[in-house]
Amino acid sequence: MKNSIGVYGLGVMGSNLARNMANHGENVAVYNYTPDLTDQFVSRHAHSRIEAYYELEPFVRSLKSPRKIFLMVSAGAAVDSVIESLLPLLDQGDIIMDGGNSDFHDSNRRYRALKERGIHFISVGVSGGEEGALNGPALMPSGDQEAYRQVAPILEKIAAQVDGKPCCTYIGPEGSGHYVKMVHNGIEYADMQLIAEAWQFLHQIVGLSIPETAGVFKSWNESELKSNLIEITAEILSKTDQETGKPMVEVILDKAGQKGTGKWSSQEALNLGVPSTIMTESVFARFLSSLKEDRVQAESLLEGPSPSGEEMDKDYWIKQVKEALFMGKICAYAQGFQQYKTASEQYGWSLQLGDIALIFRGGCIIRADFLNHISDAYQENKDLSNLLLAPYFLEKTNRYQASLRNVVMKGFESGLPLPCLSSALAFYDGYRSARSGANLIQAQRDYFGAHGFERIDQQGTFHARWLEPETVTTSVKVNK
């Protein structure tokens, strides 16, 4: 009997996805371009529904037509070279899916190039890490809808399920699935940094011990903050290092790594002109963290306050930090979804924001109860300009903004950097300001570059002769 799907790439993710497919009744062919991982896979994960191949041609020939091949290889040049090697073996109508964290520009290019060859290309954003790949990830597939229909039964079966619905839905044309995954990761970066700042505040300013902070996160996971990241944070903070007997988190070097999707997301926000400030700050915070040697040296040279060690009202501040964190999270998601909306409009993708929130409810790293509220907000008003304006979020932010303000002020006063919490507050205050300071910026631009400005009392574009005495009254109309 022929196999219903082939998985190419037997690294961490590919091997678990193949096992997930087999566990759901699919006959799966697997292949890796070096034999070592195939050997490892065969010795560790023998499965009656999985056939391992050491040669590409029999791997492809073992697949039912139209062939469905799921690539799970390192993003970048590897995907192109794998596609090149597969092409001579494929027929028109066959389907290649790319589940790696590919750059969506590459996915758009691959989609178009393969379409010309009669091959369907589906970009599949995959989230959930190793565990999710095996037991149910969140999947974000895009490409031709007709091709998606052919792979949907498999993808929707292996995805995480929440309330009987798969965390997998057709996202849109071309590489939009990888776009959605990329911004998902940007939101994830922001969420992680916000949590780290809340934790540092509790530990360094409120004076809670690490086990006490674990207890706080555990209790938060039973509140509106309930989410995968809060849950794993509680578990991390409870863990003790066997070698030193210290909390595990204390023996981990404070330099954060990254693989690039947060950076891409932020770059894309800049390209689109959307203020995704919190995710961008979170990327910068990782860069700053990596300057460990500089930071150690600067600590003794640069002056500023440090946490005073004053006795704090712990219960009061724990509540303040919780509300500040929730508020920061709302702003980060509002920005991420604003980015989806703008990308959808600029690229003509018709992204369904409510459906995207629904598929993030399970399987993925940012899964959280509050995604239901995001989904509801877009179901109620699909043209919503920003999540902050939806009734649920309006009520929350109006109630919690004072706590975010308190925490940020206390942090600043104590010399504790809170890049994402403070960025959330700046965004919130900027977004709710009918009048910004940009009139002065427009004046400066016009002064040094004659860039023109609009007036609040007349239509058109104007230029002022700034150096002439009658500046105020002689603005002249500029041709558009």
3-state secondary structure the chain: CCECEEEECCCHHHHHHHHHHHHCCCCEEEECCCHHHHHHHHHHCCCCCEEEECCHHHHHHCECCCCEEEECCCCCHHHHHHHHHHHHHCCCCCEEEECCCCCHHHHHHHHHHHHHCCCEEEEEEEECHHHHHHHCCEEEEECCHHHHHHHHHHHHHHCCEECCEECECCCECCCHHHHHHHHHHHHHHHHHHHHHHHHHHHHHHCCCCHHHHHHHHHHHCCCCCCEHHHHHHHHHHHCECCCCCCEHHHHCCCCCCCCCHHHHHHHHHHHHCCCCHHHHHHHHHHHHHCCHHHHHHHHCCCCCCCCCCCCCCHHHHHHHHHHHHHHHHHHHHHHHHHHHHHHHHHHCCCCCHHHHHHHCCCCCCCCECCHHHHHHHHHHCCCCCCHHHCHHHHHHHHHHHHHHHHHHHHHHHCCCCCHHHHHHHHHHHHHCCCCCCHHHHHHHHHHHHCCCEECCCCCCEEECCCCCCCHHHCCEEECC
**CB 362 → ligand NDP: shortest distance, Å?**
15
Binding segment toward ligand NDP, per CB under 6 A, in 8-16, 210-218, 277-285, 425-433: 8-16
Q: Is 73 in the site for ligand NDP (CB under 6 A)?
A: yes
Q: Is 86 in the site for ligand NDP (CB under 6 A)?
A: no
Tell me: is residue 73 an annotated ligand-binding position: yes
**Residues 17-36 vs ligand NDP: string with x where CB under 6 A?**
---------------xxx--
415 binds ligand NDP (CB under 6 A): no
Applying CB under 6 A, does 363 fall inside the site for ligand NDP? no
Known binder of ligand: residue 361? Answer: no
Contact window for ligand NDP (CB under 6 A) among 66-74, 166-174, 390-398, 451-459? 66-74
Q: Is 96 in the site for ligand NDP (CB under 6 A)?
A: no
Is 13 labelled as part of a ligand binding site? Answer: yes
Q: Tell me whether residue 23 or residue 379 sits nearer to ligand NDP (CB atom).
A: 23
Residue 10 is a binding residue for ligand NDP (CB under 6 A): yes
To the query of whether residue 181 is one of the catalytic residues in this protein, the response is: yes
From candidates 40, 81, 209, 474, binder to ligand NDP by CB under 6 A: 81
Q: Find the shortest distance in angstroms from Cβ 349 to ligand NDP.
A: 21
Active-site annotation holds for 263: no
Residues 124 to 183: which contact ligand NDP by CB under 6 A? 126-127, 129-130
| Contact with ligand NDP (CB under 6 A) among 22, 37, 183, 190 | 37
Determine if 249 is a binding residue for ligand NDP (CB under 6 A). no
34 in a known ligand binding site: yes
Residue 101 as a binder of ligand NDP (CB under 6 A): the answer is yes
Binding-site residues from annotation for substrate: 101, 127-129, 184-185, 189, 259, 286, 445, 451
Q: Any idea which residues carry the catalytic annotation? A: 181, 188
Give residues in contact with ligand NDP (CB under 6 A).
Answer: 9-14, 32-34, 37, 72-75, 78, 81-82, 100-101, 126-127, 129-130
